Amino acid sequence: MAPELTEKVLKVLQEANDWRAAHPDEAIAEAAALLKLDKAKVAADAANVQTMSTADLVAKTQDGSVGKWLNSLSEFFVSTGQLPSAPDPATYYTGDLYTKAYSK
């Protein structure tokens, strides 16, 4: 994928993420309608997630927190047999591109 296109996609995802973080009730309603699910079920699932702003995610990417979280998740999935080994987050999380897209 061309770097410009990658950056445009990341910017759209970041904008959507920030809207979702700022409008949790609306996001739940929209997701329930889109997926044709009961709003209460979607709300219950959403209660298990902390939606962070893009600014927070960029800061946590830069300080290494995201990499640590992804390592912990990988180790959990290895312990449950869902992954044979824990991959390095750098092989699938392009934090550099995510951060660059935000800073422009």
How much of the chain is in helix, strand and coil states, percent to nearest 5? 75, 0, 25
Question: Does 92 map to a domain?
Answer: yes
Position 1 pLDDT exceeds 70: no
The per-residue pLDDT for 104 is: 59
Q: Considering its fold, how many domains does the chain have in total? A: 1
Which residue from 59, 49, 62 is spatially nearest to 20, judged by alpha carbons? Answer: 49
Quick: pLDDT tens for 57-104. Answer: 999 999 999 999 999 999 999 999 999 999 999 999 999 999 999 975
Residue 83 lies in domain: 3-21+52-103
C-alpha closest to that of 58 among 6, 24, 11, 92? 11
Give a yes or no: residue 40 inside a domain.
no
d(CA 47, CA 15): 21
| pLDDT tens-digit readout, 3-21 | 899 999 999 999 999 999 9
As a whole number, mean pLDDT of residues 46-53 equals 94
Query: What is the DSSP secondary structure assignment for residue 80, as one 8-state letter?
Result: T
| pLDDT score of 103 | 77
